[in-house]
Each structure stands twice: as C-alpha cells, then as structure tokens.
Amino acid sequence: MPPIPRSQPLPRVITYYQTHHTSDGKPISILPLLTQPDISVTHVILAAIHINDDAQDLTLNDHDADDPRFLTLWAELRVLQASGVKVLGMLGGAAQGSYERLDGAEDRFEEYYIPLRDMLRRHALDGIDLDVEENMSLGGVIRLIDRVRQDFGKDFIITMAPVAAALLDPNRNLSGFDYEALEVMRGKEISWYNAQFYCGWGDCSSSLMYEMILSKGWPAEKVVMGLVTNPENGGGWVPWELLGATLLTLRGRIPNFGGVMGWEYFNSLPGGRERPWEWAQWMTKMLRTQQESAAPRQAAAPVATSVVAKEFKKELVDEVDPDGPNSKDAPLPASFDYYTDGNADDD
C-alpha cells in the first residue's frame, strides 16, 4: 500500500536530528527521508539549541548555528521543508541552563530570548520543541510560549517534550512545572507533546501506559509516543516484535493516535548508521499506509504488560488511598547521557 500523504497529519512520524556529522566530520544527510521509497515522515526536529551564559553565544550542539559546518544541514532542511516536511528546532534537552536563563526577571528574559527568536527567524524554522529537562516555573514556561506565539503567529508549531510519566503524575517530572496545569492554561497553544517513553520514564512494550495517559484525559492527537531508535541512545529500546504489536494496537484502537517520535536519526535501527532511514520506512509501514480500519486490531497479538507499566498502574491505584500500606514515594530513575553531536565529531 502507498504511504499516506504528508498532508494528512495523523499519525505523525517524527525523527530527532541531533548527530549531524560522522566521527571524521562528514555530514550525515537527512535527505534519504525524501529520496528513499515508502517513507512518510511528517516532522524533523533539529537538536539541540542551547542558550549559554553569553546571550549572543547561541549554539547548535557545540557550535554556532551559523558555523560553516552546518551549511549542508541548513540546505537539506530547506529541501525537506519544500517537500512538505515540517522542521522544528529543539531547545534544551539534557544539557542544563537554557531554561534557567529564560526563567528570570523580564530584562534577563529579553536578553536571552531575542537571539533565540532571531535564530529561528533566520533559518525559517516551522516550530520549536521545548524540551525542559531542568527546573522551570509554570509562569516562566507560559511567558515563553506566549512570546513565541506573539512573535511567530498562529501557524508556528509549539511542542513540548515531557517524560511520559509526567503526564500521569506531576511529581515524576524533569521540568519542575505541572504539565496538566500547563495544558489547562495554554493547551490551545501547544500542538502536541513528544512524550519520552524511555530511560525509565515510560514503557512502549505494550499499549498500557499510553492508554493510561489517555484515561487521565489527555487527547490522543496531542500525545506522541517517544521511542529510542537504538539501544545506544538510551534505556528502554523495545524489540520490533513487541513494538510492532503495540503500534498496531494503538492505531487500531485509537483513530486519532498522535504518532511516534524517534530519538534519534543517525543510528536508527534496523538500518543503523549505514541506513538510518529504514526506521522511518518501518514506521511508515506501521502507521502511515492505507489499511482497512479493522486490520491493525486483527494483526495485534496480546502483549504481556511490562514491569514499568504494571508499576505505574499499581501506584495509581495506591494513590486512591494515599495513606494505605502500599503508599510510598517513587524513586527517580537514574540519570543517563544522550549521544550528542559533540561525541561524534569533536574537532
């Protein structure tokens, strides 16, 4: 069956593009997402933009965004945009500091925000992904969202990247603010949430945790299931047989399923570094091919629920009686390191 046209928004197939060069400095092309057959990627998220101590020292990973090393990258992203793929820039991530600098007094906010605004305009990005992995106030993130909307207009895409657990429990969170409160106050400005179902913060070996999030009232079209594309990129990689069953189940049960995102492009399995686009081909086949509406449900085999998902379900039940014998504070998962462009192409 042919892929669904990119003009049809759901389910989304999104890839993060953070590692841009090989270890010997050669650009890692993103264009195979267009040139290889049977791929219907809807969005590419360029990572990671960092706001540093010097407000004018805005970097894409470890280098100035206008460094000559990125000439090929920006040219290829324009080709993607011309072909209907939306390109967003990711701000923040595991590296700390960007949001702390945007969360201060008004004059400090202006000092650090203006270079970010100018960079987004200069490269004509279609949106921004706010990956807040440090403490930020609810008022601070609302101010940032409001200013981005004011400066870029109604068609500019604003997304968030919470850990999946934060959509179930505000205390299991890397961002400092309550995402439910944010959705109530500014949900109309947020296109969707790239929820991280990995590194101990979620589970995608079955549909259970995603469906638990929906049962909390989150709209399915706004919850994207975030995956690691390779075990090298973080804990929580799920074998294809389990993942395929999960995705077919979600597509079959939820007509407005928000889709998937993958962290990250350069070494995505099954093709790995030699053929990273094969992840997008596989996701297109799972989620963005024309099928009979009943087919995904028939194809989905029962999947045993994972330890992570079972534990979340158990603890949600325990919360009904917070003083019961099973009530306890949940430990935070251990920290982890992203594979960054700096690891691959240090000059």
Which DSSP string do the residues of 253-321 spell out, in sequence order?
H-TT--EEEEE-STT-TTTGGG-TTHHHHHHHHHHSB---TTHHHHHPPP-PPPHHHHHHHHHHHHHHS
Determine the pLDDT at residue 315: 52
Phi, psi (degrees; rounded to nearest 5) at 250: -65, -40
Half-sphere exposure at residue 88, Cβ-oriented, CA atoms within 13 angstroms: 26
Could you tell me where the beta strands, DSSP code E, fall in 75-179? 86-92, 127-131, 157-160
43-50/12-17 β-pairing: parallel
Q: Which amino acid is at 149?
A: R
Q: What residues does each domain of the chain span?
A: 12-344
The pLDDT of residue 8: 81
pLDDT for res 314: 53
Alpha carbon separation from 91 to 85, 179, 328 (Å, rounded): 19, 17, 34
SS3 223: strand
Please state the φ and ψ torsions of residue 66, each to the nearest 5 degrees: -100, 15
Q: Say if residues 262 and 273 touch (Cβ distance below 8 Å).
A: no
What is the second-level CATH architecture of the domain 12-344? Alpha-Beta Barrel (3.20)
Cβ(202)–Cβ(193) below 8 Å: no
pLDDT tens digits, 205-255: 999 999 999 999 999 999 999 999 999 999 999 999 999 999 999 999 999
What's the rounded Cα separation, in Å, for the pair 210 and 77?
31
- 240-253 and 278-287 helices, crossing angle to 10°: 40
CB 9 within 8 A of CB 287: no
Residue 241: partners with Cβ closer than 8 Å, 6 or more residues away: none
Write down the pLDDT at residue 301.
35
Q: Is the peptide bond before 245 cis (omega within 30 degrees of 0)?
A: no
The letter for the amino acid at 342 is G
Rounded to an integer, what is the distance from CA 105 to the centroid of its chain?
A: 29
Report pLDDT for 325: 42
> How many whole angstroms separate alpha carbon 237 and alpha carbon 267?
13
Show pLDDT as tens, one digit a residue, over the chain (347 residues). 667 777 788 999 999 999 999 999 999 999 999 999 999 999 999 999 999 999 999 999 999 999 999 999 999 999 999 999 999 999 999 999 999 999 999 999 999 999 999 999 999 999 999 999 999 999 999 999 999 999 999 999 999 999 999 999 999 999 999 999 999 999 999 999 999 999 999 999 999 999 999 999 999 999 999 999 999 999 999 999 999 999 999 999 999 999 999 999 999 999 999 999 999 999 999 999 875 332 333 333 333 444 555 554 555 444 434 344 444 444 444 443 444 454 444 44
